C-alpha cells in the first residue's frame, strides 16, 4: 500500500488496480506543470520583471504619468457603468427565465450567449455602423452635437456588449436549481413582490451574483479589441488602460508599457483571488447544507 500514500484525500485510498504507476503519475504532473509554466506562469512573472527592468523610478513615473492616470480613471468609469447595467439585466433575465415557463425560452438563452461568440473587433464595428458618422444615427447625432463613437459613450457601449452575458449566465442556472418554493411561501405569507426579492431571493443568490460581478468586472477592465475600434485613441480622453499599454508598447517604451500592464495584472490577480474565495465559500456552504 506504500504506493497509495499521498494519493486521494487521505481518508480513502484508491486500490492499486485503479491507479497509474508512480512514474506515469509524475510524468503527467510534470507534463501539466511544464505546459502551464511555458504558457501561463512565465508570461505572468514576465509582466512584473519587465515592468521593473529599468527600476522603480521609471515604474512610478510611468504609472503616475497624467495620461496613465486619465486612462485609469476612464477604465474605472467604464467598468462602473457597464457592470451595474449588466447586473440589472442579469437579475431581470434570470428572474424571467428561472421562475417562469414560457415559449421561446431556449431561444432567449441562446441570444443571451450571443456576445460570447462575436469577435470583440466585430462588437466594436457594429456600434460604428449604428452610431458612427456614416452610420444609421450618425447624421442625427451630428446635428444634435452628440458624440458616441470616438468618445466615452462608445467605449461604455462596447464594453457593455462584450460583458453582456456574464451575470445572467451565473444567475440563470443557480436560480433554476433553487426553484421558486421559498418565494411562493413568502408571497403566501403576505410579503410583497419586492420584499420577497430583497429578503428571500437576493440572500439565496448573493454568492452567485458576486461571482458574476467579478467575472464581468475583470473582463470590463481589460477589454481591448472592441474598445480599440470605437475609442479613436485620443490620449487623456478616450484612452483606456489596455489601449494605453498598446500605445506605449508601439512607441517602444517597453518598461512603461509593462508598468501600466502590471497594474492591470494586479487587478486581474485580485479578481482571480476573489473568484477563488467565492468558489471556496460556496463549496463550504454546499458541504454544510449536505451535512445537515
> By C-beta, is 70 or 162 nearer to other proteins?
162
Residues 6+ apart with CB under 8 A from 269: none
174 sits near other proteins (criterion: CB under 8 A): no
Choose which of 62, 79, 112, 216 interacts with other proteins (CB under 8 A). 112
Choose which of 60, 69, 122, 142 interacts with other proteins (CB under 8 A). 122
14 sits near other proteins (criterion: CB under 8 A): yes
Choose which of 60, 69, 80, 111 interacts with other proteins (CB under 8 A). 111
The DSSP H or E segment spanning 273 is helix 254-291
Residue keyed to cell 480513502: 12
Do residues 258 and 50 touch, judged by C-beta distance below 8 A? Answer: yes
Choose which of 4, 115, 153, 236 interacts with other proteins (CB under 8 A). 115
Residues 6+ apart with CB under 8 A from 56: none
84 sits near other proteins (criterion: CB under 8 A): no
Q: How far is the CB of 32 from other proteins (least distance, A)?
A: 4
Q: Rounded distance, CA 111 to CA 89, Å?
A: 13
Choose which of 35, 56, 140, 198 interacts with other proteins (CB under 8 A). 35
Among 2-10, 55-63, 65-73, 205-213, the segment contacting other proteins (CB under 8 A) = 2-10
234 sits near other proteins (criterion: CB under 8 A): no
CA angle 263, 269, 275 (to 5 degrees): 140
Query: 84: which 3 cell numbers?
Result: 451595474
Choose which of 68, 87, 127, 154 interacts with other proteins (CB under 8 A). 127
Q: How far is the CB of 144 from other proteins (least distance, A)?
A: 19
Q: Rounded distance, CA 264 to CA 251, Å?
A: 19
Q: What is the pattern of x (binds other proteins, CB under 8 A) and - over residues 263-282?
A: -xx--xx-xxx-xx------
Among 58-66, 104-112, 202-210, 282-290, the segment contacting other proteins (CB under 8 A) = 104-112
Q: Rounded distance, CA 217 to CA 222, Å?
A: 9
Choose which of 56, 60, 73, 110 interacts with other proteins (CB under 8 A). 110
Residue keyed to cell 460581478: 213
Backbone phi and psi for residue 58, each to the nearest 5 degrees, phi listed first: -60, -40
Q: Rounded distance, CA 191 to CA 196, Å?
A: 6
Amino acid at each position: 500500500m506504500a504506493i497509495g500514500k499521498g494519493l486521494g484525500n487521505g481518508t480513502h485510498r484508491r486500490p492499486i488496480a485503479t491507479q497509474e504507476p508512480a512514474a506515469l503519475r509524475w510524468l503527467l504532473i510534470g507534463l501539466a506543470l511544464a505546459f502551464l509554466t511555458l504558457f501561463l506562469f512565465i508570461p505572468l512573472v514576465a509582466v512584473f520583471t519587465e515592468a521593473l527592468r529599468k527600476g522603480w523610478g521609471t515604474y512610478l513615473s510611468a504609472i503616475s504619468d497624467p495620461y496613465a492616470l486619465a486612462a485609469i480613471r476612464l477604465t474605472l468609469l467604464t467598468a462602473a457603468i457597464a457592470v451595474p447595467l449588466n447586473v440589472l439585466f442579469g437579475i431581470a433575465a434570470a428572474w424571467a427565465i428561472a421562475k417562469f415557463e414560457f415559449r421561446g425560452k431556449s431561444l432567449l438563452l441562446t441570444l443571451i450567449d450571443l456576445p460570447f461568440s462575436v469577435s470583440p473587433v466585430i462588437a466594436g464595428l457594429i456600434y460604428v455602423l449604428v452610431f458612427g458618422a456614416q452610420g444609421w444615427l450618425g447624421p442625427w447625432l451630428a446635428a444634435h452635437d452628440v458624440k458616441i463613437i470616438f468618445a466615452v459613450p462608445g467605449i461604455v457601449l462596447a464594453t457593455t456588449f462584450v460583458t453582456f452575458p456574464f451575470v445572467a449566465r451565473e444567475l440563470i442556472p443557480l436560480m433554476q436549481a433553487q426553484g421558486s418554493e421559498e418565494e411562493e411561501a413568502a408571497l403566501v405569507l403576505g410579503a410583497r413582490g419586492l420584499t420577497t426579492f430583497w429578503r428571500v431571493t437576493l440572500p439565496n443568490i448573493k454568492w452567485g451574483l458576486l461571482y458574476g460581478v467579478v467575472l464581468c468586472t475583470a473582463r470590463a477592465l481589460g477589454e481591448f479589441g472592441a474598445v480599440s475600434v470605437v475609442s479613436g485613441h485620443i490620449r487623456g480622453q478616450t484612452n483606456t488602460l489596455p489601449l494605453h499599454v498598446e500605445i506605449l508598447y508601439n512607441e517602444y517604451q517597453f518598461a512603461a508599457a509593462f508598468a501600466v500592464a502590471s497594474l492591470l495584472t494586479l487587478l486581474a490577480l485580485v479578481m482571480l483571488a476573489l473568484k477563488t474565495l467565492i468558489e471556496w465559500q460556496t463549496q463550504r456552504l454546499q458541504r454544510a447544507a449536505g451535512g445537515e
